[in-house]
Structure 1
């Protein structure tokens, strides 16, 4: 539901403003300085999350760090995200961000999840269990293969 003439809700406008801030915060930075700033922003985004949102973000961070250390942590519209060559591959969308029922772990078109003519790229998570952890591990490994 939109609440403005632009067609975007207040939450959507806030996310777009947050993305613009993310881009401005690394403007002019290169190499290790840019990566360090992006890692710091990702860690802060994860630390700010509670409940299942935080559990999922910490699990994805741990899994990416272990299985795909070449992915660089950053934020993407305020979400904890991981990128290769500047392109986001996987990110966590917390439920709290848009007041939804559950957080999701999402993969972009740069993830290598292709499977025939149709495949999932977004996964709802209501609890981070050992089975969920293993499924995320499998998806991250496939995404970067």
Structure 2
């Protein structure tokens, strides 16, 4: 049921929810859950559409820090505006910034929450 949002944040949230609802039925539930995990991990983030997909920023006018999308695979990513750090060890100076997933389980949800919290710190 569509609502008539009044604030910019509410309008942006509704656009994100609407975008998720247009995704293929086979992944729609997973993407809804991804939205829930992100917003629970960092409730201060504001959802909005970013390059046509759900993104999350500190405000409606600040850069997106976290996003997810569905192409061939589902992707969770952090943007270059998040505090990226080299992975170290065998990855040297590479900075992890994107993860592919096919489904969400408890362990994956915990890791997503960690990634989101690190992107807002």
Do both proteins adopt the same fold according to a TM-score greater than 0.5, normalized to the shorter chain? yes
CA shift for structure 1 position 106:
1.0
**Aligned-partner Cα distance in 1 for 2:103–2:8:** 33
Aligned residue number for residue 103 of structure 1 = 74
Kindly indicate which of the two structures has a greater share of residues assigned to strand: 2
Q: 2:101 aligns with which of 116, 121, 125?
A: 125
CA shift for structure 1 position 57:
2.2
Aligned residues: 108
Aligned residue number for residue 112 of structure 1 = 83
CA contact (8 A) 1:113 1:139 kept: no
Kindly indicate which of the two structures has a greater share of residues assigned to helix: 1
Structure (1 or 2) with the larger CA radius of gyration: 1
Aligned residue number for residue 13 of structure 2 = 39
Aligned residue number for residue 74 of structure 1 = 48
Question: Deviations for 1:10-68, whole angstroms, at most 9, x for unmatched residues?
Answer: xxxxxxxxxxxxxxxxxxxxxx722121111011011222323x244223211222121
RMSD: 1.8
CA contact (8 A) 2:78 2:97 kept: yes
Secondary structure of the residue that 1:109 maps to in structure 2? coil
Q: Which runs of 4+ in 1 moved over 3 A?
A: none
CA contact (8 A) 1:73 1:83 kept: yes
Q: TM-score, structure 1 length as denominator?
A: 0.66
CA shift for structure 1 position 112:
2.5
**Residue range with higher mean Cα deviation, 81-90 or 111-120:** 111-120
Structure 2 residues not aligned, in runs of 5+ = 1-5
CA shift for structure 1 position 77:
2.1
